[in-house]
């Protein structure tokens, strides 16, 4: 059992054997193929742009993270320096604060 496809002409007749019907089918296929290729090209270009934007965003995020880490180091260094200065200026108060902090921490951890 074989099936034969019938391609309608623009005037509605079902003549698959005519040269005109085959030509019409070929040009329609060519137009569809051209549009499909064009759509694929556009999608590929958009994907390329998206990949480039993602790469740039990753670089920017990396730079921001590096700056944040550097800022955190500077802040930590300044805090340590400030604490050392306070300890040198107020040694008795510093020992009292350390003892009180240790007592509170010990009481909290026992519960």
pLDDT at 22 over 90: no
Of all residues in the chain, the percent with pLDDT exceeding 70 is 78
pLDDT at 18 over 90: no
**49-100 confidence digits (pLDDT tens):** 999 999 999 999 999 999 999 999 999 999 999 999 999 999 999 999 999 9
List the domain boundaries for the chain.
19-110
Average pLDDT, the chain: 83
Q: Measuring CA to CA, how many Å separate 89 from each of 26, 97, 99?
A: 93, 14, 18
Of all residues in the chain, the percent with pLDDT exceeding 90 is 67
The C-alpha atoms of residue 56 and residue 49 are separated, in whole angstroms, by 11
Short-list 46, 43, 39, CA closest to 54? 46
Q: What is the pTM of this model?
A: 0.47
CB 3 within 8 A of CB 12: no
- Cβ-in-10-Å burial (0-12, 13-18, 19+) of 9 comes to middle
The C-alpha atoms of residue 111 and residue 99 are separated, in whole angstroms, by 19
Using pLDDT thresholds of 50, 70 and 90, give the confidence band for residue 21: low
């Amino acid at each position: 059992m074989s099936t034969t496809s019938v391609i309608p002409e623009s005037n509605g007749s079902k003549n698959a054997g005519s040269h005109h019907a085959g030509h019409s089918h070929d040009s329609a296929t060519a137009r569809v193929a051209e549009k499909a290729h064009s759509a694929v090209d556009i999608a590929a270009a958009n994907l390329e742009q998206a990949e480039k934007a993602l790469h740039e965003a990753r670089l920017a995020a990396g730079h921001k993270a590096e700056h944040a880490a550097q800022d955190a180091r500077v802040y930590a260094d300044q805090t340590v320096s400030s604490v050392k200065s306070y300890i040198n200026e107020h040694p008795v108060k510093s020992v009292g604060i350390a003892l009180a902090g240790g007592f509170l921490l010990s009481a909290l951890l026992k519960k």
